[in-house]
Amino acid sequence: MAETVLELKDLSTHFFTDSGEIPAVDKVNLQIHKGEVVGVVGESGCGKSVTSLSIMRLIPSPPGKIVGGEINFKGEDLTKASEKRMKKIRGKEISMIFQEPMTSLNPLFTIGNQMSEAFRLHQKISKKEALQRSIDMLKQVGIPRAESIVHEYPHQLSGGMRQRVMIAMAMSGDPEILIADEPTTALDVTIQAQILDLMRKLNKEKNTAILLITHDLGVVAEICDRVVVMYSGQVVEEGSTREILKDPKHPYTQGLIKSLPKLREKQQRLYSIPGTVPKPKLGRVGCRFAKRCEFAFDRCFQADPELISLGNNRKSRCFLYEEKESGVESDVNSTIRS
Ligand SMILES: Nc1ncnc2c1ncn2[C@@H]1O[C@H](COP(=O)(O)OP(=O)(O)OP(=O)(O)O)[C@@H](O)[C@H]1O
Ligand code: SF4
Ligand SMILES: [Mg+2]
């Protein structure tokens, strides 16, 4: 397997609010290898953005704080890195495309101005050279009439164009890792497919590792090598995209897959998992999915399931399974699921 470029070890990020301490990210473990595309999926509020913002050390503080764990980036623990060091890493070694492009593009400056600044932050080049590189980068991400777009303001661009600009800016430092938080959610399906193609191209050509955050398993199927499923601040399942889509182990992942529209089947109504994700809470006992799980039994309400290895590089956090070192799968309840 390729070299690990990023490893989260028991990463915990909590918010300290008037209504108490919220463990939004609770002992999350995750690895990304060189050139790998890893998808993080889960419903709204399960901790996807807080995980990615923690990696970038951009959690608003207060009320947020990384309270435990490690973020190992090529042997360096970023939880301990100084702000000066993080400024060097952000954009250059780890880049991020934020969930809301309009909030990360400054409405008061032209596209060329903002892109040039990103270039000049990490490289000693003239303004003229930086503007030319911005134009080249915009062309690389498929923006037509790049020469004039650099003189335009964000509001003059369509949503798809803005997202391309964000990708161009994120790629300008030639990062080792690109974190893309819901990069296609606000776009129509055609533009969505183009943006995914673009990310796949960058991944193949530059071997950039991508952490793709999405609630859309269709997007994951398109582009990801591996998937990490999050639920209420925790990782509940992990495995190769192929395995997870073909044979999901955790009842939550099974529900997510069941909710996907199927093209060839006539469906009266689309399935949706009953209930909603519980807000993370300290001191909660039992499986966090228990209230929504059709297989829940007594133990699920009395103890916390651990994330266990099922062999075959798969993991699941569910009492229906028993740990296996490697090889044979340990599904003790395949009969229940079928
Ligand atoms: N600034 C904040 N103050 C308090 N709680 C917060 C703050 N930001 C996030 N949270 C909490 O952290 C949890 C995880 O939020 P997060 O934004 O990571 O969800 P998400 O998985 O990215 O959801 P979405 O799909 O809607 O983007 C939520 O319960 C949320 O309420
Ligand atoms: S531990 Fe229990 S409640 Fe949780 S997912 Fe497994 S069967 Fe369902
Ligand atoms: Mg989010």
Give tens-digit pLDDT for 116-171. Answer: 988 888 788 999 999 999 999 898 888 889 999 999 999 999 888 888 888 888 88
Note the CATH number of domain 4-108+153-337: 3.40.50.300
3-state SS assignment for residue 316: strand
Any idea where the domains of the chain sit in the sequence? 4-108+153-337
pTM: 0.91
Q: Ligand 1 pocket, 248 CB below 6 A?
A: no
Using alpha carbons only, give the angle 215, 13, 86 rounded to the nearest 5 degrees. Answer: 95
pLDDT at residue 239 is higher than 80: yes
What confidence tens digit (pLDDT) does each residue in 280-319 have?
889 889 999 999 999 999 999 999 999 999 998 999 999 9
Number of residues assigned to the chain: 338
Cβ neighbours of residue 143 closer than 8 Å, sequence gap 6 or more: 149, 161, 164, 165, 168
Mean pLDDT of all residues in 23-29: 97
pLDDT at residue 263 is higher than 80: no
Mean pLDDT of all residues in 235-245: 97
**CA-287 nearest atom, ligand 2:** 4
Q: Measured between alpha carbons, how far is 293 from 300 in angstroms, rounded to an integer?
A: 10
Strand-strand pairing, 226-231 and 234-240: antiparallel
Q: Which of 287, 304, 335 has the most ligand 2 atoms within 8 A of CB, as the residue to mutate?
A: 287
Residue 16: what are its φ and ψ, rounded to 5°? Answer: -105, 100
Q: Ligand 2 pocket, 305 CB below 6 A?
A: yes
Which of the residue ranges 95-99, 241-245, 325-329 would you say has the lowest mean pLDDT? 325-329
Paired tokens of 205: 């050509």
pLDDT for position 267:
61
For residue 97, report the distance from its CA to the centre of ligand 1, in Å.
17
pLDDT for position 166:
87
